[in-house]
Chains A and B, each alone.
Chain A
Amino acid sequence: MSLILFIEQALNGLQYGVMLFLMAAGLTLVFGVMGLINLAHGSLYMIGAFAAAAVAGATGSFLLALVASLVCAAFAGVLVEFFVIRRLYDRDHLDQVLATFALILIFSEGTRWIFGSFPLFLDKPDWLSGTVMLPFGIEYSLYRLWIILVGLLVAAGLFWMIGRTRIGIRIRAGENDREMIAALGVNISLLYTFVFALGAALAGLAGALIGAIQSVQVGMGEPVLILAFVVIVIGGIGSIKGALVGAILVGLTDTLGRSFLPSFFGLFLEPSSAMSIGASLSSMSIYLLMIGVLLFRPKGLFGGI
């Protein structure tokens, strides 16, 4: 029973990690290519979730909802990049943090204004509800399994795009040497807008996929944003591979810590203090992980290459 529980929780951790990767990929690309810290990335996640919930409510189609999340978040990304973000590329990190913090305020309150403070609900479609039987007699949620697959597919697509396509070459060139790609005649500002929109679309997709498990509400983006930052810091800022590894590490640590630390402390402490110590340690665990990584590798696992 304990092994089954472990595998189930590990799958949950993987699912969480894959979703974090969708968030972290955009953040790390935007930082790697443009040198920008974008705190408003969580708002794009929220926009994706709200767009999906609104479209699913209107049309009843989950797939249309996902498309809407991608399109709306990408569109919001383009707008934000055009009006605000491109003025920040040459600024220091402090200005970037503040300006994008300001964007969070605007997006969050704007969404509250339009949709109100009550959470919306995005239902999983019928064809993804229920459970599947996995080997060893493990019964697991079909939807969660499906989003693991979707996330891994997106990750594979992203790796393919960056490794094998022309736009990917330009992105990598942009990470290494900004002046060189300008000299090559690449339209930098178009490339930047594209990278930002791509990151936004991925965040929006993550928002929609998670929105069907949790509720869709204002403020849903920021906790995920902070975790995504932890992910890219662990992975090494700018590294897509680092983001994937970091995301899965964080996803597993968080989920497994949450389910096993309290019972672990229960082995040698009285139940009530085991619960509270276990709970507080598990919510602190990913930050401890990050601090641990940074102490040994101040630029993250795959940073500085």
Chain B
Amino acid sequence: MTEPILDIRGISKSFGALRASNNINIDLRAGEIHALIGPNGAGKSTLIKQIAGGLRPDTGSVHFDGQDITALSTAARARLGMGRTFQISSLAMEYTVLQNAVLGALGHRGDVFRFFRPVMKDAGLLATARASLEQVGLEEFHDARVSELSHGQRRQLEVAVALTLSPKVFLMDEPMAGLGAEGSHRLMGFLDQLRHKAPILLVEHDMDAVFTLADRISVLVYGGIIATGPVEDIRGNPIVQSAYLGEETAA
């Protein structure tokens, strides 16, 4: 068994009386897609925020690449190699597709405090940015402003920007949401390959995608993980079915 790259150890977070995360343990190992599923309001977003930064757990710790990163900022975690995509597209809306990708490459390279050279003529950054856009199939839209993109294209751009960071892990919050059948299918094919570059912690509602892609699945209900395991175990797990899958398939 390989050492996990990302290891969440017993984190809890409360908002007043509400326990949004309840002693959660979850890890991510090289080469895998670990899917996190659960009904709405189970605390998935809260958990992702504690892993990616921006929300400090009350107790427990987050370890990444052998280092305790619980106290680090979002930016510091990103620099260590966490590539994140957001549930609601979070891009620089006034910029073009290419500018957003260059921004990722620039952020990763780190030399932001330069005032004189035109950034959009920097060959190194452009190469990284264009390669990422090509991987997600957005290269022909490089000149389009993000505000003009379709919802699905924005999701693709989110992934492309994460790619420019050459991350060690990906945290993806519902990347398929609103993509449509064809788009989902393409992205699934892409993620399937991507896991060999860096493992993916995937929060996803689309059960077909989850059961097709995931190596392991964790089920989050009412802030706690009720089951973790390989796809087949989860599919057949009676607790999971009654707590979650049952409702979902019945609905």
Q: Do chains A and B touch in the complex (CB under 8 A)?
A: no
